[in-house]
Amino acid sequence: MDIFDTFLNAEVMRRTFPMLLQGLWITLQLGAASIVAGLMLGLGLAMARLYGPGPVRFVTRLYIDIFRSIPLLVLLIIVYYALPFVGLRLSPFMSAMSALTLVSGAYTAEIFRAGIEAIPKGQFEASAALGLNGRQTMADVILPQAVRIVIPPLTNNSINVVKDTALASVVAMPDLLKQATQAQALAANPTPLIVAAVIYIAFLWPLVALVSRMERRFAARRR
Amino acid sequence: MAGFVSIRNLRKSYGTFEALRGIDLDVAKGEVVCIIGPSGSGKSTLIRCINRLEGFDPASEIRVDGTPVTTGRALAKVRAEVGMVFQSFNLFPHLTVRENVMLAPRRVRRTTRADAAAQADRLLARVGIGNQADKYPEHLSGGQQQRVAIARALAMEPQVMLFDEPTSALDPEMVGEVLDVMRDLARTGVTMIVVTHEMGFASQVADRVIFMDAGQIVEQGPPAQVLSDPQEPRTRNFLGAVLNH
């Protein structure tokens, strides 16, 4: 039995490819939903962390530190297996999206905070002197500049979120990895796993390359 | 009589360091006041208190056109009436020159886009950079950027203009073009409070020159008196050091 028949079996590939595509679709939905929700959560947390009253800042910092410390898999299992004991029963998709969003939001908050803190104080002062209020200063002056700075790290974080969606397979969500393991069991052949890996790489490699390019360009402009 | 800008017993401390030690100052409507003094004398801190970029001792009082400079709505009203030009320009780098000038009228005064653009083009022409409106600030020279900053402040049609060392960050050959714009502005009757090291400008344009040292006003009066015939030894020392280096 040669290596191609084992790992890249054309017949198995043909038979299981539709399953993998279904899984890919779920993975992309979960990734996109978690990224968007995590961005919104992160921006809110960053604002609370920077400009909230004392107690709010403290609680926000606590949240950010805790959710950057907890392993995502542990959080996911708690959400899916432990919360039902207190009456909160989420679907596999909602469990996975909640866990991914809670953690991604914590990382995103720190990215936004660093971006905002990188904007020179003079920009805030010029805005205040012109009579802009805090919300206008953020929306029209600070965030448009901060977003440019944080696009590379935010893209990095988004890549991580998409990769971490694979963890959802442990709560029986039919994502790309879960479909691949099932297809492997059905076909008694590991080819679907290899194909799944190739699909992940095909989707994320361009993003990884894009981040490298942006970081290089950014470093060049700083000089 | 209280001035258009009136400052009473202004005090400010950073920890144990007293940056301002009881300043009393009245500036009349249309008056041009130049504040001179050594670095660390508190002159920048003083004008940054007028629009409350710096907080100050709660027992102190500043009023602009009768409105106390406090917080909330009163502060918003003051800031809309007081324009400021900074040493480091502080233009918004992500906006074009025209958009820099349009932003505050659009957001604070709710001016329509068309009106704000027309006003921006008028102001930019007035400061001599009408043909650069679509460029971004980074593509302008320092002198041009500072003139945009002046136009941006004027767009709010302020009653008072504060200048915080507006030419200190400029290459020498660009100082003149900015001072020329300020000179024109002084003729239009805008109240101006200018922190500067440009003694020539102060002597030609100011109605009054104030010499500050160690957080206090040491001496003030018409430029001819303060700059040419200072009464206080500290003023004489400072002017001697500045003029004969």
Question: What's the whole-number average pLDDT of chain B?
Answer: 94
Q: What is the DSSP string of A13-31?
A: HHHHHHHHHHHHHHHHHHH
A122/B88 touch (CB, cutoff 8 Å), yes or no: yes
Looking at the DSSP bridge assignments, the partners of residue B160 are B82, B191
Q: What is the mean pLDDT of residues B27-42?
A: 95
Examine the pLDDT at B71 and tell me if it is beyond 90: no
Give SS3 for B106: helix
Rounded to a whole number, what is the distance in Å from the CA of A105 to chain B's nearest CA?
A: 26
- Predicted confidence at residue B226, as pLDDT, reads 94
Rounded to a whole number, what is the distance in Å from the CA of A53 to chain B's nearest CA?
A: 16
Examine the pLDDT at B169 and tell me if it is beyond 80: yes
- Predicted confidence at residue A223, as pLDDT, reads 44
Residue A82: count other Cβ atoms within 10 Å of its Cβ.
Answer: 10
A129/B103 touch (CB, cutoff 8 Å), yes or no: no
- Predicted confidence at residue A221, as pLDDT, reads 61
Run of H or E including B27:
strand B17-27
- Predicted confidence at residue A172, as pLDDT, reads 80
Rounded to a whole number, what is the distance in Å from the CA of B70 to chain A's nearest CA?
A: 14
Which 80-109 residues of chain B touch chain A by CB within 8 A? 80, 82-84, 86, 88, 90-94, 103-104, 107-108
Examine the pLDDT at B111 and tell me if it is beyond 60: yes
Q: What is the pLDDT of residues B178-229, one digit of tens each?
A: 999 999 999 998 999 999 999 999 999 999 999 999 999 999 999 999 999 9
Q: Is B69 on the interface with A (CB under 8 A)?
A: no
- Predicted confidence at residue A11, as pLDDT, reads 84
Per-residue pLDDT of chain A (223 residues; tens, 9 = 90+): 688 888 888 888 888 889 899 999 999 999 999 999 999 999 999 999 999 999 999 999 999 999 999 999 999 999 999 999 999 998 999 999 999 999 999 999 999 999 999 999 999 999 999 999 999 999 999 999 999 889 999 999 999 999 999 998 888 888 889 989 998 888 888 889 999 999 999 999 998 898 888 888 877 665 4
**Separation of CA A209 from chain center:** 17
What pTM value is reported for the model?
0.86
Smallest Cβ–Cβ distance between A125 and the set B82, B83, B90 belongs to B90
pLDDT above 90 as % of chain B: 91
Q: Is A130 on the interface with B (CB under 8 A)?
A: yes
**Residue A162 CA neighbour count, 13 Å, CB half:** 22
Q: Is A118 on the interface with B (CB under 8 A)?
A: no
Measured CA angle at B160 (ends B142, B148), to 5 deg: 20
Q: Which residues in chain A have their CB less than 8 angstroms from residue B53's CB?
A: 125, 128-129
Q: Which residues in chain B have their CB less than 8 angstroms from residue A149's CB?
A: none
- Predicted confidence at residue B242, as pLDDT, reads 85
Residue (of A124, A122, A103) closest to A50 by Cα position: A124
B26 φ, ψ to 5°? -120, 130
